């Protein structure tokens, strides 16, 4: 432990995770025993107001246990890891790019609500509004386990704010989620299979960022995977982050092969084929998950990050299958 700092860091991280899991169980057990004692006392006193408070406590405990139960099924190799999340606007120009920006905000808000930190790795801004593509890293235990089911095409139907005739438009954006992996992941990358390009970073950042080719794009030729990073002023740091992302993408591809889902994602077909969820704002408001059939009407709350019910339904459906 004392001679190997990386090993010590890994062991202490695992220790913290195990302690957190143990404490979660004890919290649920103690809450249950407290409610049981309170109920017995309330029945003896025949206090209806006290009983009502206990009922609310039971509902909170039930919700807590539901999430705890689902996380017990996070048994995949990378389910405990942080994750990268990519968003790509589909065809449709400004309208689709604005939709991609809305999705980015939704995941940012979800991460904030769950005390996850978020790093912006890369962003390709649209000419008029929105984003053409972006990559973020969501840091926290079980981030990948919760979000991996979000991979797919998300469809928006609304009256376009960019259409002077106020016509209804349908926009698409794709989301891809893959786990952050560490040095323990045995992923071999052949240098001859890589094409590395440098380019000038876009957006704000000062003269150094915008006038030097600090941004990095790495293409893995055999798989067709492309990763890019412009988060840092240093080209060397961006290159290191891009390699980490590439390693994570290749690792996730290997996981898919083991699950017999090894077809590479073709981002040129961001449309109906991989659609997982529809967000309808006009003529009525509804969000529907096409895999589970779950429907919710409060689209404003969902676009503000309240997607837990959809995540839980996706995980429950996978467990059932």
User: Across residues 201-219, what is the average pLDDT?
Assistant: 64
pLDDT tens track for 103-113: 999 999 999 99
Q: Which helix (H) or strand (E) holds 261?
A: none
78-321 CATH: 3.30.70.1660
Distance CA 277, CA 288 (A): 6
Distance CA 96, CA 109 (A): 20
Measured in whole angstroms, the distance separating CA 40 from the mean position of its chain's CA atoms is 43
Judge whether residue 210 has pLDDT over 50: no
3-class secondary-structure state, position 198: strand
Distance CA 86, CA 84 (A): 7
What Å distances lie between residue 311 and 30, 137, 302, 307, CA to CA?
A: 27, 18, 12, 6
Distance CA 92, CA 201 (A): 24
Distance CA 287, CA 158 (A): 12
pLDDT tens track for 294-314: 999 999 999 999 999 999 999
219-231: b (≥16 Cβ within 10 Å) or e: bbeeeebbbbbbb
CB 174 within 8 A of CB 90: yes
Q: Which helix (H) or strand (E) holds 275?
A: strand 275-280
Judge whether residue 39 has pLDDT over 70: yes
Q: Where are the domains of the chain?
A: 5-71, 78-321
Going 122 to 124 to 125 to 130, the CA torsion angle's sign is negative
Give the pairing of strands 215-220 and 194-199.
Answer: antiparallel
Going 252 to 253 to 255 to 259, the CA torsion angle's sign is positive
The pair of three-digit structure tokens given for residue 143, joined into one six-digit string: 């981030």
CB 138 within 8 A of CB 311: no
pLDDT tens track for 77-135: 888 899 999 999 997 788 999 999 999 999 999 999 998 999 999 898 888 889 999 99
Would you list the DSSP string of 302-316?
HHTT--HHHHHHHHH
Q: What is the pLDDT of residue 205?
A: 45
């Amino acid at each position: 432990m004392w001679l190997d700092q990386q090993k010590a860091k890994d062991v202490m991280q695992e220790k913290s995770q195990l302690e957190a899991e143990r404490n979660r169980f004890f919290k649920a057990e103690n809450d249950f025993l407290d409610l049981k004692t309170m109920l017995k006392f309330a029945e003896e006193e025949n206090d209806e107001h006290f009983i009502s408070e206990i009922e609310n406590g039971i509902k909170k405990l039930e919700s807590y246990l539901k999430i705890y139960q689902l996380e017990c099924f996070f048994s995949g190799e990378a389910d405990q890891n942080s994750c990268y999340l990519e968003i790509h606007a589909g065809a449709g120009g400004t309208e689709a790019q604005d939709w991609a920006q809305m999705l980015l905000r939704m995941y940012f808000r979800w991460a904030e609500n769950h005390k996850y930190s978020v790093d912006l790795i890369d962003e390709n801004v649209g000419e008029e509004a929105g984003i053409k593509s972006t990559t973020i890293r969501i840091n926290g235990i079980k981030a990948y386990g919760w979000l991996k089911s979000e991979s797919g095409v998300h469809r928006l139907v609304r009256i376009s704010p960019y259409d002077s005739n106020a016509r209804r438009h349908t926009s698409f954006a794709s989301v891809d989620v893959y786990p952050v992996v560490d040095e323990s992941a045995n992923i071999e990358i052949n240098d001859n299979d890589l094409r590395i390009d440098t380019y000038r970073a876009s957006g704000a950042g000062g003269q150094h960022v915008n006038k030097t080719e600090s941004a990095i794009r790495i293409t893995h030729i055999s798989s067709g995977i492309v990763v890019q990073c412009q988060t840092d002023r240093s080209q060397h740091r961006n290159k290191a982050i891009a390699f980490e992302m590439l390693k994570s993408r290749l690792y996730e591809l290997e996981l898919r092969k083991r699950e017999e889902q090894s077809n590479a994602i073709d981002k040129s077909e961001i449309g109906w084929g991989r659609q997982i969820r529809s967000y309808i704002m006009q003529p009525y408001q509804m969000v529907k998950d096409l895999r589970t059939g779950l429907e919710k009407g409060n689209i404003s709350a969902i676009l503000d990050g309240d997607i837990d019910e959809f995540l839980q339904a996706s995980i429950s459906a996978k467990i059932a299958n």
